Amino acid sequence: GDSVTQMEGPVTLSEEAFLTINCTYTATGYPSLFWYVQYPGEGLQLLLKATKADDKGSNKGFEATYRKETTSFHLEKGSVQVSDSAVYFCALSQGNQGGKLIFGQGTELSVKP
């Protein structure tokens, strides 16, 4: 079945460092890909998405490109801030089961001043 694999955390970075969180997926067809962010004590918020190969999603300085050839959707940010500390989830959707999202296990990011 479909699945998503993320790099394990926690990831600890200094402020202004470059961030990469790896995400690869296994799926049939052409799923939509998402990054969600969960701040402490809160629900998940959509960070960015891409719906077809070579699309780049971007938001708040974060970017991810849908790479069909490598089945990847890596999250990047050029300069992280303390406020980016959160858990990041990569997910895919085949558009079935009410838009069901299949999530990776999540990657915790901690940014130190």
Q: Which residues bind another protein (CB under 8 A)?
A: 4, 32, 34, 36, 41-46, 49, 89, 91, 93, 95-101, 103-106
34 or 62: whose CB is closer to another protein? 34
Provide the sign of the torsion angle of the four alpha carbons 33, 94, 28, 105, taken in this order: positive
CA angle 63, 16, 109 (to 5 degrees): 65
∠ Cα 58 65 15 (to 5°): 55
**Residue 31 Cβ vs another protein, minimum distance, rounded to whole Å:** 11
Cβ closer to another protein: 96 or 113? 96
Residue 87 CB, nearest distance to another protein (Å)?
A: 10
Taking the least distance from each CB to another protein, the nearer of 60 and 100 is: 100
Terminal CA-CA length for the chain = 41
